[in-house]
Amino acid sequence: MAGATLCSKTATFLQTLVLNLYESLYKDLPEESIGDKIKKYRLIKGMSKVELARAVGLSSRSELNYIGRYEAGGKIPDNVKNLICNVLDFN
């Protein structure tokens, strides 16, 4: 049982370390538009575009490409924008 606890603590430590690395790498990205913010906070969280799309309920093949469009300045429906903001923890 102690080995499982050690593995769990090590995994948590490594996950925290990686997230801190992502934050230090991407914290200075611009936030001039909502698309910039989405990309910045997605990268800080270590999420791919597909992972973010799935996290907000976009699942069809065409919908999985929407995050890239939003990051490039495409119009974002308000309900999707709110979901993205909640997943990425920003306003």
The pLDDT assigned to 23 comes to 86
Average pLDDT rounded to a whole number, residues 55-61:
91
Please say if the pLDDT value at position 21 is more than 90. no
Tell me how crowded residue 67 is: count the other CB atoms within 10 A of its CB.
Answer: 28
pTM of the model: 0.79
| Total Cβ atoms within 10 A of residue 21 | 11
Give the tens place of pLDDT for each residue, 59-85: 888 898 999 999 999 999 999 999 999
Query: What ranges make up the beta strands (E) of the chain?
Result: none
